[in-house]
Chain A
Amino acid sequence: MKEGERDFNREKENVAKPVREIVVPGDLLDSGKLKPGDGTYVSNGKIYASQLGIKSIKSNFVNVIPLGGPYIPSPGDTVIGKIVDIGPSNWLVDINSPYPAPLHVTEVPWKVEFGDTARYLNVGDTILAKVLLVDETKRVQVTMKEQGLRKLQGGQIIDISHSKVPRVIGKGGSMIQMIKSYTNCRIFVGQNGRIWLDGDIENIVYAIRAIKMIEEGAQTLRLTERVKEYLESMTRSGLNGKQQ
C-alpha cells in the first residue's frame, strides 16, 4: 500500500502539473516518504506546512515557497542596503529585514581613519553589499570587500517581495538580462527584494513596470513571453528610438 502510494507520487512529480497547490499553515504535506524542507515542520512523523505558500516537491524534499514574509539574511546573499546610522568605526545598514546590519570599516574597500566614516558613506546612501555572516541569534555582518560591491550613486530603488527575486532574475539571469537589454538600464537585484535601476527616465519606468508585472504574475503561465511582449511594444512605440 505504502509502496503504491510512493509510486503514485513519483509519477505526479514527473508529469507536468499545471496547477500548483497553495497551502496554508497546518496543511498536511506528506505523511512518510518525503523529507521536510523549507517552510515545513514535522509532527508525529508527518510533514505540515508552516507558512502560506506554494507546495513544491524536489528530490525527495517537500518545500513551501513562501508568498510573503520578511527577508531573513543568510551568508553570501547580495543585498542592497541603506545607511541609517554612522559610528566612528562602523555604519549601520538597513537591509530590509528585521535585523539591522553593521558594516565595519575593515569591511570596506577604502582606508578609513577612525571617526572619518562620514566622508565615505553617509546616512541615506545606498550600497551594494554582501552578507558576511549571520550567527544563531541572527546578528548580521555585511561586507563590501568583494568585486563589484560598491556605493550606488544616482538611480532609483524599488522594493519587491524577496520571495519573487528568483523570478525577476530568471533562469541563469535570463529575465533580468532581457529587461536590461530592452531598456538599456543598469540594474542590480538584491536578494533582499530591493532593486536598483539607473538609465533614461522613460526606460526606468518601463523596467519598473516590467518588474512589477513579474512580481504580480510570479506564478503565472508564460511570464517570460508576456514580459518580452510588453517590453517590445513599449520600446518600439516608445519615446526612445535609440533601441532600434
Chain B
Amino acid sequence: MEAMRLIDENGLRVDGRKVDELRPIRIEAGVLKRADGSAYVEWGKNKVIAAVYGPRECHPRHLQDPSKALVQCRYNMIAFSVMERKRPGPDRRSVEISKIIAEALEYVIFTEYFPRTSIDVYIEILQANAGTRCAGLTAASVALADAGVPMKDLVPAVAVGKVDNQVVLDLSKEEDNHGQADLPMAIIPRTGEVLLMQMDGHMTVEEFNKAIDLGYKACEKIYQLQKDALRRRYAVEEIETFEEAQHTQSAMEE
C-alpha cells in the first residue's frame, strides 16, 4: 500500500518543498471584462478562475429572500483539468464543493444589504493538482471584493494533511493520493473563525492541532497575497490632491 516515499531523508517532499512550505501562489484580480468581479489564481499546478455576477435580480423568483441576498456558487472542473478526461458537467463532488463554498462565502458577505437579489459566483478549475477547493475559495473571495460586494473580510483557504506520518502543509496531488489525511480549511483572518473544514483520513488529536496551527499561519500569508492582488489592480489611481479629494467628497453629497 504505502510503497511510495513522499518525504525523503532530508525532510523534503516530492516537489522539493519543506513540510511547512506552500506551493508558489499567484493571484490576479479583475481578469474578466464582462463579469462584475473576477480573479485568477495559480497555485502550484492548479489554475483557477473565478467570476462574480451581482448582486443582481434573483431568478427564479421563488428563490428570492426579502430579508437577504442569496449566495449561489458553481464550482466546475473543466474536462481537461485532470489527467484523465473528466466527464463534463456537475457531479456529486462538485455539487458538494459548490455548496460548502457558497456557505463559507455567505457568512462573510453582508447579504442583508441586498434583499431579493442573488450573488452568483462561478469557479472554473482550468487545471487541477490537489487543493482546488481551497484555491477556488481563495479566488472567489478576491473576485467578490473586486465586484464591490460588501463583506467582513477576505477568505484565505489552504489544505493541510498527513503524509508519511508527518503533518504537512498544502498537499500536492501525489501527497493527496497516497497520503494519510487531507484537511482543507478556510478562515476569517481577522477573527480566526473557521469557515470551512473538512477531513479525509485519520489524524491523532496532536497531529490535528499541529495541522490547524500550520493552516492558520499559511492562511495569513495567502491573505496578504489576496490583499496585494486587489491593491495592485487599482494602484494606478493612487494620486490625488487634497483639493480634489474635497471635490469628490462634496460632489458625492449632492
Contacts and interface: CB of A to CB of B under 8 A. Distances in A.
Contact of B57 (A22, A27, A48, A100): A100
Interface of A: 15-20, 22, 24-27, 39, 41, 43, 48, 50-53, 56, 58, 65-70, 72, 98-100, 136-138, 166-167, 169-171, 217-223
Contacts of A48: 152-153, 190
B115 A24 contact: no
B71 to A, nearest CB: 14
Contacts of A219: 237-240
Given A169-B254, A221-B240, A26 B153 contact: yes
Contacts, number: 143
Given A24-B226, A52-B148, A56-B249, 8 more contacts: A16-B243, A26-B152, A26-B154, A51-B149, A53-B148, A166-B254, A171-B250, A220-B240
A138 B117 CA distance: 10
A150 B151 CA distance: 38
B240 to A, nearest CB: 5
A20 B117 CA distance: 32
Interface string B95-114: 00000000000001010011
Given A26-B152, A169-B254, A18 B116 contact: no
Contacts of A52: 145-146, 148, 230, 234
Nearest to A13: B242
Contacts of A26: 151-154, 188-190
Contacts of A56: 245, 248-249
Contact of B234 (A22, A51, A221): A22
B83 interface: no
Contacts of B210: none
Given A25-B153, A52-B230, A99 B248 contact: no
